Structure 1
Amino acid sequence: MASTDRRLRIIAGADSFGSDLKDTLVAQLRALNIDVQDLGTDKYYSVGEEIGRRVSQAAATSDPSIETRGLVACGTGVGVAIFANKFPGVYAATCLTPGEAINARSINNCNVLAVSGMNTSPDVASQILDSFLNTPFKSPCPASGSNPWPSDLESFFDSSLPEMSKIGTPKNAEKETPKNAEKDTACMLCSLVKNREFTGVEIMPGGSMSIVRETPTSAFVKFKGGSVEPGHHHTFGHDVVVVQGRKTVWNLSKGEKYDLGVGDYLFTPAGDVHRVKYWEDTEFFIKWEGQWDIFLDEDLAAANAALDKQQKEN
């Protein structure tokens, strides 16, 4: 391909929401005579984790004449990317347009493409994949106005990816002896959220939020232990990954209950009414499929009364 002089191998997989789109893109890859390892269909976290692990291992140990990348698909393309990115040397990006794929390859040397089975048509996904395959790292892209990058930015791109692997490690660790070295057990997301400024969510007592992207909206959210989110719904579905603490979500529309701890993921569809209880101080990453909004379906007193009743019945 134009993006590399090495032979290209793609490891692909999807959950049930992304399997059809994945099959279409795998057929496209094979028509191009690209070596594809199709892991099939499994839960979004299993697929994302396995492909992330394999791409990471390939980057560290494989034949330098072969470049290994990943292709993952789920309903939104977000969950699989989050789990793939748990591994060193993996730069997974959710791309909804060909331009986003070009930017991700040019700026971030993205090596795992994540696509949305619910939001992306096969024709658009085909264009996204083509951009992913044929865009070299540091090449002109929409973010650069399709002009060559200045030398100082190219230098930054070269240094930024190795620096990413140091996030969450103690400062000056290389100067510390094993005896006095301090262990840092924080995960990457916790390290990223540590210094962000949070704004209180007036409609939800005990909650605060730091929005990092708008429409579709991504944010880090904190709730104090003991807080309750009364039953509410959103115009758009949303993905949640817990990075600290423990919470329970009741999907009142479907009559389902989810106990979530660190590392757990949950997707709540658009319009589903849900109530949340935070058992301890909790932080999570959340992504809405569109803009952020919230509509209360009960007040706080009614929510607490319902929770008290459930506790007595149990």
Structure 2
Amino acid sequence: MAADRRFKIFAAADGFGQPLKDAVVAHLRTHPAVAEVLDLGVDKYYAAAASVASNVAETSDSDAEHALEARGVVVCGTGAGVAIFANKYPGVYATHCASAADAVNTRSINACNVLALSGIATPPDVAAAIADAWLATPFRAPCPASGDAPWPEDIQSFLDSAPAEMAAIPEGSVPVPVPESCAICCLRKGMEFEPVGIMPGGEMRIVRESPTSAYVRFKAGSVEPAHHHTFGHDLVVIKGKKKVWNLTKKDSYDLVDGDFLFTPAGDVHRVKYFEDTEFFIRWDGHWDIFLDEDLDTAHNAIDAELGAATGK
């Protein structure tokens, strides 16, 4: 027993977990290592988990006056839902335990400070044994996962550094690489682009012919003069910022990362790029283009409209 530690325990459950929560609270209130149990009641499983986890996260690990360590017990039908939601809180390490061995392992390896239990699958006597093992086991102690022997030196070293590294993760101190998984972004890797001669600043790579699909990019400040196509097209902005004026419909669209726009066949439209912009475009048929004005006319029209909008 961790006789030199006294625990302050917060407990809550949903309707499926209430009977087991009540039994565990009653058991913990008689436990010699527990100084206080705060029963936070019954709520939806995520609200119950939040009430416990927020209290554990906000309570100091060691109160100098009372030497209390904050712990939590959360119970729902499966024990999984409350564990998932409790783990949203920094400094909370919640684990669903179905046996005393689970509790010993997760205390030794994960420094679990919120115990999640299944109100449907776990009998009260088993839950009491789980809670006892959870309170009795210090972090890095021998456990079933270590063969009930002290951890080897390399594992001990890992466990020694784990708490600080785990605490740093929510602050971004331990960056987690995120792979570029967007199919369209992966598609463009290694592509060779060809300049769009009639539109300075633009490059295009056709990836499929008739119906035509293409990956297109324009430099900031570029302009597409008013033009139209035989076929309508769908467009998705991958990154950047652009404005499209549909002159046929007398409407305009401000587009940024992730935005979609469909332009019907024959609609005359001009475009201004405010940032380096990349987008994926698919025509309903083959690609063609018919200019309805020259580049100077487009620049003058855009400058006049943007100037009027800003009062300049």
8 Å contact from structure 2 (residues 7, 68) kept in 1: yes
Which protein is bigger by CA-based radius of gyration?
Answer: 2
Aligned-partner residue type, residue 37 of structure 2: V
Q: What SS does structure 2 have at the residue aligned with 1:39?
A: strand
- 1:174-193 pair list within 5 angstroms: none
What residue number does 2:86 align with? 84
State the shift of 1:166 in Å: 3.3
Q: What SS does structure 2 have at the residue aligned with 1:59?
A: coil
What residue number does 1:47 align with? 48
Q: TM-score, normalised by structure 1?
A: 0.52
What residue number does 1:276 align with? none
2:15 pairs with 1:16? yes
Task: Give the gaps of 5 or more residues in structure 1.
Answer: 174-190, 198-279, 281-314
8 Å contact from structure 2 (residues 62, 68) kept in 1: no
Aligned-partner residue type, residue 108 of structure 2: S
Measure, in 2, the Cα distance between the counterparts of 1:86 and 1:22.
21
Aligned-partner residue type, residue 40 of structure 2: L
Measure, in 2, the Cα distance between the counterparts of 1:136 and 1:107.
10
8 Å contact from structure 2 (residues 13, 21) kept in 1: yes
State the shift of 1:83 in Å: 1.5
Measure, in 2, the Cα distance between the counterparts of 1:136 and 1:91.
14
- RMSD over aligned CA atoms reads 2.6
Counting matched residue pairs gives: 179
What residue number does 1:29 align with? 28
Q: What SS does structure 2 have at the residue aligned with 1:31?
A: coil
Deviating above 6 A after TM superposition, structure 1's stretches of 4 or more consecutive aligned residues are none
Measure, in 1, the Cα distance between the counterparts of 2:5 and 2:103.
20
What residue number does 1:167 align with? 169
- 1:94-173 pair list within 5 angstroms: 94-167=96-169
8 Å contact from structure 2 (residues 61, 70) kept in 1: no
| Deviations, residues 153-195 of structure 1 (Å, cap 9, x unaligned) | 122112122212333655689xxxxxxxxxxxxxxxxx69x45
8 Å contact from structure 1 (residues 3, 134) kept in 2: yes
State the shift of 1:61 in Å: 8.1
| Deviations, residues 15-51 of structure 1 (Å, cap 9, x unaligned) | 0010100111111111225210011111111111111
Change (3 A) 1:9 1:115: same
8 Å contact from structure 1 (residues 4, 136) kept in 2: no
Change (3 A) 1:150 1:19: same
Change (3 A) 1:53 1:168: closer
8 Å contact from structure 1 (residues 10, 71) kept in 2: yes
8 Å contact from structure 1 (residues 44, 79) kept in 2: yes
Q: What SS does structure 1 have at the residue aligned with 2:141?
A: coil
Measure, in 1, the Cα distance between the counterparts of 2:144 and 2:108.
9
Aligned-partner residue type, residue 57 of structure 1: E
State the shift of 1:62 in Å: 4.3
Task: Give the gaps of 5 or more residues in structure 2.
Answer: 182-257, 259-312
Q: TM-score, normalised by structure 2?
A: 0.53
Change (3 A) 1:171 1:140: closer
8 Å contact from structure 1 (residues 99, 142) kept in 2: yes
8 Å contact from structure 1 (residues 12, 51) kept in 2: yes
Measure, in 1, the Cα distance between the counterparts of 2:38 and 2:174.
40
Measure, in 2, the Cα distance between the counterparts of 1:9 and 1:153.
30
Change (3 A) 1:159 1:118: same
What residue number does 1:93 align with? 95
State the shift of 1:102 in Å: 0.5
What residue number does 1:229 align with? none
Measure, in 1, the Cα distance between the counterparts of 2:94 and 2:174.
28
Aligned-partner residue type, residue 151 of structure 1: E
Measure, in 2, the Cα distance between the counterparts of 1:99 and 1:172.
30
What residue number does 1:261 align with? none
| Deviations, residues 230-255 of structure 1 (Å, cap 9, x unaligned) | xxxxxxxxxxxxxxxxxxxxxxxxxx
Measure, in 1, the Cα distance between the counterparts of 2:62 and 2:7.
15
What residue number does 1:56 align with? 57
96-105 or 53-62: which moved more?
53-62
